Amino acid sequence: MRIVSKLPAVGTSIFTTMSALALEHKAINLGQGFPDFPMSEELIGLVTKAMHDQYNQYAPMAGWLQLREAISEKISFLYQTPVNPDTDITITPGGTYALYTAFTTILQPGDEVIVFEPAYDSYIPAIELNGAKAVRLSLVHPEYAIDWQQVKSAITPKTRAILINTPHNPTGAVWSEEDIASLRSLVEGTDIIIISDEVYEHLIFDGRRHCSILRYPDLFSRSFVCFSFGKVYNCTGWKLGYVVSPPNLMQEFRKIHQYNCFSCPTPVQVALSSFLHRREAYLQLGQDMQTRRDAFITLMKESRFDLLPSYGSYFILATYDRISQEGDNDFAIRITREAGVTPIPVSAFYADGKDNKVIRFCFAKKLETLEQAASRLRAV
C-alpha cells in the first residue's frame, strides 16, 4: 500500500541509532538523556498506593484537579505568578506531547516559527507536520548564545511563534535576564506566541536563576510553557508532563488534547498531587545534578577532550580537536566501537547537519558509571 510521507526527510532518530550501537558494542551509554540511578522510593510507593486505592479509571481531560492545584501552588512559590488550576494548566503525556500540541493549536499552513539550533530533535518535525516553516537560527558557538539582532532580522509578518528552551538541550546553556529583556522588546506589540520548553527547570547550576517565562506576566500572557515530571523526578519512562498557558490559549489547546490523548494515567497523577508538596524533593535536584556534572568534569581533566560550560540540564558538550579531525558523527560511532562509550554528535541537532566537531555526554548517571566511562575516555 502506497502512502505519501509527511516527513520524507526523516529517518531513525540519532538516539535510537546510537543506543542500538551502544547495545551492540556493550558500550556505556552517555548519549540518551536518562538517569541510571533509582528514583524516589516514596514516590513509587505513592503510585502503588493509588492503584490499590482504586484510582485506576479515567482522570479528567485537563488532569487530576489536586495535581493541577499542587502545580499552581508550586508556580506561585517559585515564580510569584498566580495560575488558575482550572483554566491554565493541562496534564500531558510528556513534555514533547505538550510542545507538539501547542504547535498544532496555533499553526496554520505558511506560518513561520523561529527555532534556535542546535535544537531538540522533535521541534522542527512538529512544526512541519502542521504545514508551517521552521526558521532556523544558529546559536553562537561555542558559548551557544543568542544573536538577538539576527532574531530581529528573522521576524516577518508570517512569524507566528518563537520557540525557546532553557536550560538548553543539548548545550546546557541558560537564559539570562538580558535575554528575557531582548525577547520582551521583540514581541511587544505583536501577535507572536512564545512556546517555552522548560523541562529542565530545576536542573540549573552554579547559583544561576531559572528565567522561566512564568516569572514575567507580559510574556506569559502570550505563551505555552511546557514541563516534564520525568526530568524532575528521574522517571523519564513515565512520560508525564504539563503545559501552562493563559485561558484563551489553553481553551484552544484542550480542543486538540481531548481528541488526541484525552487523559493521562490516573494513579501517577494522584501520587504526584501529594508528592509535589514536598518542596525539598525538587529544590535539591539542581545541587544533586551539579554534583554529578562536577564529578564528570574532574574525571575528564586528564583526557584529551575539552568540555564546554554546562549551566543546566543533563548534558555537557565536548570538543575533540586534540584527538581527531573526523566529523562528529563518525567520531561518535568510532569511540562507541573502540572505547566503549556512546555520546551523541551535536550535528544531529541541526537540520542541515552543521558540524562544529562537538559531541554531547549525559552526566545524569551513577558516580560509578561516570568513573568507568571517564576511564575509557581518558584512554582515547
Beta strands in 322-369 (DSSP E): 341-342, 344-345, 358-362
Q: What's this model's pTM, rounded to 2 decimal places?
A: 0.96
For the chain, what percent of residues have pLDDT higher than 90? 96
CATH 3.40.640.10 placement within the chain: 58-277
Q: Give the residue-averaged pLDDT of 206-225.
A: 98
**Mean model confidence pLDDT for the chain:** 97
| pLDDT tens string 182-205 | 999 999 999 999 999 999 999 999
pLDDT digits (tens, 9 = 90+) for 39-82: 999 999 999 999 999 999 999 999 999 999 999 999 999 999 99
Could you give the percent of the chain with pLDDT greater than 70? 100
Close Cβ partners of 47 (under 8 Å, ≥ 6 residues apart): 267, 268, 270, 271
Residue 13: pLDDT band (50, 70, 90) is: confident
Name the nearest CA neighbour of 315 among 332, 288, 292, 334. Answer: 292
Instruction: Give the mean model confidence (pLDDT) for residues 155-162.
Output: 98
**pLDDT tens for each residue of 135-150:** 999 999 999 999 999 9
The fold adopted by the segment(s) 14-39+283-378 is: Aspartate Aminotransferase, domain 1 (3.90.1150)
Q: Looking at the chain, which residues constitute the CATH 3.90.1150.10 domain(s)?
A: 14-39+283-378
**Cβ–Cβ under 8 Å, residues 197 and 165:** yes
| Domain boundaries 58-277, corresponding CATH code | 3.40.640.10
The 10 Å Cβ neighbour count of residue 69 is: 15
| pLDDT greater than 90 at residue 379 | yes
What one-letter code names the amino acid at 166? T
